[in-house]
């Protein structure tokens, strides 16, 4: 009888402990996803139904939270910039062109010049994300004259990039971070490629006729990836010499795409969910799938995708780089700053876009943002903390991406 009592007490204690653990987890989840409906300076804020004035106030608050380092700290990085002054340096994702997310000629120019001063050889500028194709053609039409004015060369081969570096010039190409979900055919793909869009994604966070986006990553039971039309898109991209990009796509989409593509694929601005579990980040399985194609995963500098406290310091970014290197080799690493040079204007546009940026999933929180200049601070950490050698650093800076580009463009 005594043993029976002990067994009953043990079972009761076990149930109470399980309930306690569950309650603790529920509290943690609630803290992570609590969205304020009133406090515009809250960690997460609901913009639905709010006035333009409150949206603008939130945008200012987010822009002020973004700065990571002082001008003096960035000046100290120049020793690494000087050491690798002959290296090919590529920013795989600058989210700007004239017209996109509020970019003017001035803000696009500011973005290009900051990349140039940071020692960047080649930059990939976004001309679309969730936009219909006709808008993307308009962004390209408005951006092309500024590209000429800034003495940039639009590239068609990796040799163009190397030649420009030898001549002290900077090159550019365009990318699309996704397509309008209403598009149900692929007739626009070749036309966009003819205009200089050399990298294309399937979808921007949500879902369309090609694939599912990162908003599906939070559901572990959802295995939806690319559709039959998505497979046709990959085949067309491979034929045209368009690099398939899976940033903003779900893990399932990335894994599916890696199985279908005959060329190396790219995650142009992704971080690791093993280091920080955020739906925008990529699982180890997804990273390995990209690596298996000979592709690369470029970390980004957006703090809300890097750490729980939205820290975008070089140590934090380098931790993601090293984890990717451990999974697929250092030859699969690169950097895409994803830094918005007109941040307050961009936030004013993006904050109300709850379909693409649902606050319940952690989007729209105050976050540090590393800029392209911070690539040299990341290099310092990779050298000093993780003991990367010169060839490995040159790979991270640009040679790894050139390999992926060439495999697709040849």
Burial classification of residue 48, based on how many CB atoms lie within 10 Å of its CB (0-12 exposed, 13-18 middle, 19 or more buried): exposed
Q: Do residues 59 and 351 make contact, with C-beta atoms less than 8 angstroms apart?
A: yes
Pair of tokens at residue 78: 């120049």
User: What region does 228 belong to: left with phi over 0, alpha with psi -120 to 50, or beta?
Assistant: alpha
How many CB atoms sit inside 10 A of residue 407's CB?
A: 17
Does residue 15 register a pLDDT over 60?
Answer: no
**Please, what is the end-to-end C-alpha distance for the chain in angstroms?**
80
Query: Once rounded to an integer, what is the mean pLDDT over residues 277-297?
Result: 96
Q: Which of the four pLDDT bands, split at 50, 70 and 90, describes residue 6?
A: very low
Query: Once rounded to an integer, what is the mean pLDDT over residues 209-237?
Result: 89
What was the pLDDT predicted at 68? 77
Nearest residue to 210 (alpha-carbon basis) of 218, 219, 220, 200: 200
CA distances from 131 to 93, 101, 187, 340, 402 (A): 17, 11, 16, 18, 28
Q: Which of the four pLDDT bands, split at 50, 70 and 90, describes residue 4?
A: very low
d(CA 175, CA 192): 10
What was the pLDDT predicted at 346? 84
Instruction: Provide the CB-side half-sphere exposure for 140 (13 A, CA).
Output: 23
Indicate the pTM of the whole model: 0.86
| pLDDT tens per residue across span 155-176 | 989 999 999 999 999 999 999 9
d(CA 93, CA 246): 13
| pLDDT tens per residue across span 130-143 | 888 889 999 999 99
| pLDDT tens per residue across span 36-68 | 999 999 999 999 999 999 999 999 999 888 877
- DSSP 8-state class, residue 361: G
Count of all residues that appear for the chain in the document? 410
Does residue 123 register a pLDDT over 90?
Answer: yes
User: What region does 38 belong to: left with phi over 0, alpha with psi -120 to 50, or beta?
Assistant: alpha
Q: Identify the H or E element spanning 218.
A: none
| pLDDT tens per residue across span 346-403 | 899 989 999 888 998 888 889 899 999 999 999 999 999 999 999 999 999 999 999 9
Q: Do residues 13 and 24 make contact, with C-beta atoms less than 8 angstroms apart?
A: no
């Amino acid at each position: 009888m005594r043993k029976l009592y002990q067994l009953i007490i043990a079972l009761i204690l076990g149930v109470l402990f399980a309930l306690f653990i569950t309650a603790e987890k529920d509290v943690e989840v609630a803290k992570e996803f609590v969205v304020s409906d009133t406090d515009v300076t809250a960690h997460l804020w609901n913009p639905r139904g709010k006035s333009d004035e409150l949206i603008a106030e939130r945008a200012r608050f987010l822009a002020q939270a973004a700065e990571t380092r002082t001008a003096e700290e960035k000046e100290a990085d120049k020793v690494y910039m000087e050491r690798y002054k002959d290296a090919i340096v590529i920013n795989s994702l600058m989210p700007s062109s004239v017209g996109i997310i509020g970019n003017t000629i001035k803000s696009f120019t500011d973005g290009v010049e900051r990349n140039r001063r940071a020692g960047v050889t080649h930059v990939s500028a976004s001309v679309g994300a969730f936009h219909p194709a006709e808008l993307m053609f308009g962004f390209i039409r408005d951006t092309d004259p500024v590209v000429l004015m800034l003495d940039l060369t639009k590239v068609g081969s990796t040799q163009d990039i190397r030649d420009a570096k030898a001549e002290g010039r900077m090159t550019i190409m365009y990318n699309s971070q996704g397509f309008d979900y209403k598009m149900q055919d692929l007739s626009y793909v070749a036309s966009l490629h003819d205009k200089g869009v050399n990298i294309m994604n399937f979808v921007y966070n949500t879902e369309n006729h090609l694939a599912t986006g990162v908003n599906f990553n939070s559901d572990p039971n959802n295995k939806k990836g690319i559709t039959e039309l998505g497979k046709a898109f990959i085949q067309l991209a491979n034929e045209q010499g368009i690099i398939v990009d899976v940033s903003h796509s779900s893990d399932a989409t990335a894994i599916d795409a890696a199985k279908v593509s005959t060329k190396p694929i790219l995650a142009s601005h992704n971080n690791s969910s093993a280091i920080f579990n955020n739906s925008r980040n990529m699982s180890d399985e997804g990273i390995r799938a990209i690596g298996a194609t000979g592709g690369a995963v470029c970390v980004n500098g957006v703090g809300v995708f890097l750490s729980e406290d939205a820290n975008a310091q070089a140590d934090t970014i380098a931790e993601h780089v090293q984890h990717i290197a451990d999974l697929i080799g250092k030859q699969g690493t690169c950097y895409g700053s994803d830094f918005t040079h007109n941040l307050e204007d961009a936030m004013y546009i993006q904050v109300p876009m709850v379909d693409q940026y649902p606050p319940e999933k952690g989007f729209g929180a105050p976050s540090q943002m590393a800029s392209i200049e911070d690539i040299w601070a990341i290099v310092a950490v990779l050298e000093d903390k993780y003991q990367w050698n010169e060839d490995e650093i040159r790979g991270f800076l640009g040679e790894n991406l050139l390999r992926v580009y060439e495999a697709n463009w040849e």
